[in-house]
Amino acid sequence: MSRNTNIEGLESIEYKPALSDKWRLYTRLQGTYIHAMTADLHTRSYIRSRVGFTYKEFTFGAGANLEYYGPLKHKQSNIGGFLQVALF
């Protein structure tokens, strides 16, 4: 492996059980970690979470993004609502 390589890992999990004939619970957790081999340090990582409901092609609810940058893991957070529309 080249020392100019980044090592990246991505994990994602969703759970969408039916609540009724028309409604589903929507949960998602996703995270990534990126490590720069040249400097042997953390470059970026994040955790994204969503919880909400799905009705027909619409999914909506609350979400949070936690982002970490650089070797000191400077943190930026965003919390709010989300809307997702399935086109197909």
So what's the pLDDT on residue 39? 87
* Structural tokens at position 46: 């994040």
Identity of the residue numbered 53: F
Residue 65, domain extent? 6-48+59-85
So what's the pLDDT on residue 1? 57
CB atoms within 10 A of CB 28: 19
So what's the pLDDT on residue 3? 60
Q: Give pLDDT tens digits for 5-24.
A: 889 999 999 999 999 999 99
Q: What is the pTM of this model?
A: 0.82
Question: What's the average model confidence in pLDDT over 26-41?
Answer: 94
Residue 54 belongs to a domain: no
> How many structural domains is the chain composed of?
1
Straight-line distance from the first to the last Cα atom of the chain, in angstroms, rounded to the nearest whole number: 40
Residue 79 belongs to a domain: yes
